[in-house]
Amino acid sequence: MTKTQEPSKKQVDQRGLAGQTIGDTAVCAVNQTQLMYRGYEIADLAANATFEEVAYVLLVGEKPNAEQLTSFSQELVSMRAIPNSVKEAIISIANETPDAHPMAVLRTAVSLLSHVCPVCEDNSPEADMQKSMYLLAQIPTCIGVHQMTLDGNTPVEPDATLGHAANLLWCLTGKAPHESAAKVMDVSLILYAEHDFNASTFTSRVIASTNSDMHSGICGGIGALKGNLHGGANEAAMGMLQEIMVAVEDGSTPEAFMKNAFETKMKLMGFGHRVYKKGDHRAGILRDWGLRYAQSANPEAQKWFDLGDEVQAIMLRDKNIHPNVDFPCGMTYFALGIPVPQYTPIFVAARITGWCAHIMEQHQNNRIIRPLAEYTGPELRSWNG
């Protein structure tokens, strides 16, 4: 096909590998009606499991019994501290370049952690599991060191008395979170933990398929998740709501904002999904938990959920497009008092479980991922002709 030719419908449909199955996995199943982690449906997990239990299911493959869960949780707690060299590097970046993107900082932190990991270059199942647990335990600490330094505070040490979600909030703020805040964060981590061959997971698996190490795969995953068409969508969704709120306070209406957005073809973040054409199963769950928290602990934040509900209704009425999980995530994290730039790093704190599970699966049954491309450039031509 020459440059002047239009791409065929088949070629357009194949962009982004839309609708194409490119591999097998036992980690997660995503379809129009269900999202399952190793056979457990997401609503069931959000209602009845803790994030530590879900992490165990994803990494180990089965639901833990009480003894296994205790051992797993205690081991994670023991791994939370990060080396001084990594801590000092994060602090230095925060002080010298405070505008650095938090995802870029976290990517750097994970890369630095690889240098102090004694089994970094070992891709055996045992070493991969050890690396998975270290990354799961240490990423919240890295996020906290960065944010506390940006806030002008001395970073706190991880709190061994707190569960994973509560410790994440503690590291971010230096304040012991209320039980209800920890629960909402726990649910959000469960909802974000895994989602089959999404862009960042696929990136991680491609890297792992070359027999590269887990830390390299995770750095690639973070790089893919950084984009606002993937993980950064929760930040962009909250930014959009803030823009609408300013317009409303200036005398406009959500209806007017959305009408202008439709007419100017503005990209509205937090809506639509490649797979979930009838709605993201996770969105309603997180919206309900976030609203419940706002009503009980931060009533001022309820206005964001009211605005979000109105925007969501307009989008559904006029475009028949449902929100995805990033839309309520923005409102929920805002109600929790989390700085907007840290929303996507927190996504990493959850999705690290899915990424590591997929990297382990790739390493254990590997063939390098190397697809073909359909050439659309000029026909054969002579350099001297």
Q: 291 and 267 in one domain? A: yes
In a domain? residue 260: yes
Convert the pLDDT of each residue in 313-324 to its tens digit: 999 999 999 999
| Span 228-235, average pLDDT | 84
Q: Please report which residue ranges of 178-232 form alpha helices under DSSP H.
A: 179-192, 199-209, 214-225
Q: 127 and 44 in one domain? A: yes
Spatial neighbors of 21 by CB under 8 A, at least 6 apart, are none
Q: What integer pLDDT is reported at residue 230 of this predicted model?
A: 83
In contact, 350 and 188? CB cutoff 8 Å: yes
Q: Which of 273, 281, 322, 363 is catalytic?
A: 273
Rounded to whole angstroms, the Cα distance separating 158 from 349 reads: 15
Convert the pLDDT of each residue in 162-212 to its tens digit: 999 999 999 999 999 999 999 999 999 999 999 999 999 999 999 999 999
Query: How is the chain split among helix, strand and coil, in percent rounded to 5?
Result: 60, 5, 35
User: Is 273 among the catalytic positions?
Assistant: yes
In contact, 193 and 51? CB cutoff 8 Å: yes
Q: What integer pLDDT is reported at residue 385 of this predicted model?
A: 76
Q: Which of 122, 151, 178, 230 is catalytic?
A: 230
Banded model confidence at residue 23, pLDDT cuts 50, 70, 90: confident
Look at the block and give the residue holding tokens 């707690």. Answer: 77
Residue type for position 211: N
Question: Rounded to the nearest 10 degrees, what angle do helices 102-115 and 84-96 cross at?
Answer: 150
Q: Comparing C-alpha atoms, which of 103, 74, 99, 105 is closest to residue 87?
A: 105
Q: What is the CATH number of the domain that holds 165?
A: 1.10.580.10
Sign, CA dihedral 312-313-315-321, equals: positive
Q: What is the CATH number of the domain that holds 285?
A: 1.10.230.10
Count of domains forming the chain: 2
User: Is 326 among the catalytic positions?
Assistant: yes
Q: 259 and 125 in one domain? A: no
Residue 160 backbone phi and psi in degrees, to 5: -70, -15
| Span 90-101, average pLDDT | 98
Banded model confidence at residue 4, pLDDT cuts 50, 70, 90: very low
- Domain final position from 320, 335, 350: 335
In contact, 197 and 22? CB cutoff 8 Å: yes
User: Is 13 among the catalytic positions?
Assistant: no
* Residue 116, helix vs strand vs coil: coil
Banded model confidence at residue 222, pLDDT cuts 50, 70, 90: very high
Q: Which of 186, 196, 280, 326 is catalytic?
A: 326
